[in-house]
Structure 1
Amino acid sequence: MSSNALYTGFKAIGFDKELDECFFLCESKNNVTDLHIKFHLDTAQDFDATGVFFKKELNNYYNPQIYIYDYTGKLYNENELTSLQKKVWSSGNIPLVCVFYDTEIKIIDCTTHIKNNKPVLLETISLLNKAKNTYDELFAVKIKTGVFWEEAENKDKFNFKNNSSYNILLTWIKELRKEYAKLLKDDEIEIINKVIIQSILIKYLEERKDQNGLNLFQ
């Protein structure tokens, strides 16, 4: 386990009771037998996350819900959280991020893109004045059972399908295809699909890095 401050944060929202049940630390992934969970912990590590909180579905399927970040010992930096939300939102991996500081927890809504170049904060939980918190130890239970997403105040707030990076990409691809179709003959339109697919593949490879941090395309 990391710092005492981090464990205090876990305890404040009930994560401590779910450790190795629905909440797993990336540093402990070699002790995890479920390959599905291990895969998501590996993915989370690629995003520099400390751990992952899962919702337990039917047939013991674990659906990742939250990336946990240990920022204890660090000062709050809005630009840092903005970059973090950009990265996680673009991946489409997970709807929420919890960032743990020494005295508070920032919960970021990653179902939507940043707004006004600032992170979209769902809640800030003070670890110094718990009486003012709207979240409590039941937060973990609500996430793991899925009740959180069904609550009246949350049900219409999250629109991951329409705001996801994948959906926005598809929307712009359709617009792009429509515009180029105007310039081509009917028997040439299939070329557009090939060019778009190859362009996306090239962009993907351009951003890929090896274990030494070097780009595949120099």
Structure 2
Amino acid sequence: MYFRGYGEGKTLTGHLPVEMVTPTAFHVIYNWMLDIKKSRKGDCSIVELYSAATFMKVNELLDLVFDCFNDSCVSGSQAFGLFMEALNFEIRMFQIMLLSRIEEFFLPLVASKEFVELDFYWVRELLSIQSVGVNSEIEIFMSAVRWLSHNWPKRKAQMEKLMECVRFCLLPPPFLRFLQGEHNTLILNSICQSAKVKELVNKAFV
């Protein structure tokens, strides 16, 4: 438990960072601890509860949150909605787990405004997930192009690192040959003429 770290015989004054433990979540956890049946009370989202329980090291409650998460079969748009809420907290592993539940909602997500406004780190995590619902690896490649295109002047420096998420060995040979050519659009041509992308394409052919 979090408060066990305070010294004995001293005035107990604790500070809980609101970015990890919201007042609502603290109230819910406090009521939960006093309840003999150990049932959750109050109006608190699962994201708030997970963040607070993680920070306060309430392992028994963390197990309960995971059970609720699994029982509710959170996936698709619901998982992304929770992920967006979780951006307000420092619970990276929980966010990665939510992204892994996107699955069939991946393509609608890529078409959204929220996708192109995501931070580079999270775009890279999303494109690296094996379980996203795509018809072929081409859609992963084009998703990366879409994100880069949204703010190319600032994002072009991140292009090569983002392209490492694409599994070039899964791209069909005709598309690989397409990538080896020159293109009329500035962004696509810049990507295809990159030394790193050329290397990845050549390795895929081999």
Q: TM-score, normalised by structure 1?
A: 0.23
User: Whose RCO is larger (CA < 8 A, sep 6+)?
Assistant: 1
Give 1 or 2: higher helix fraction. 2
* Structure number with bigger Rg: 2
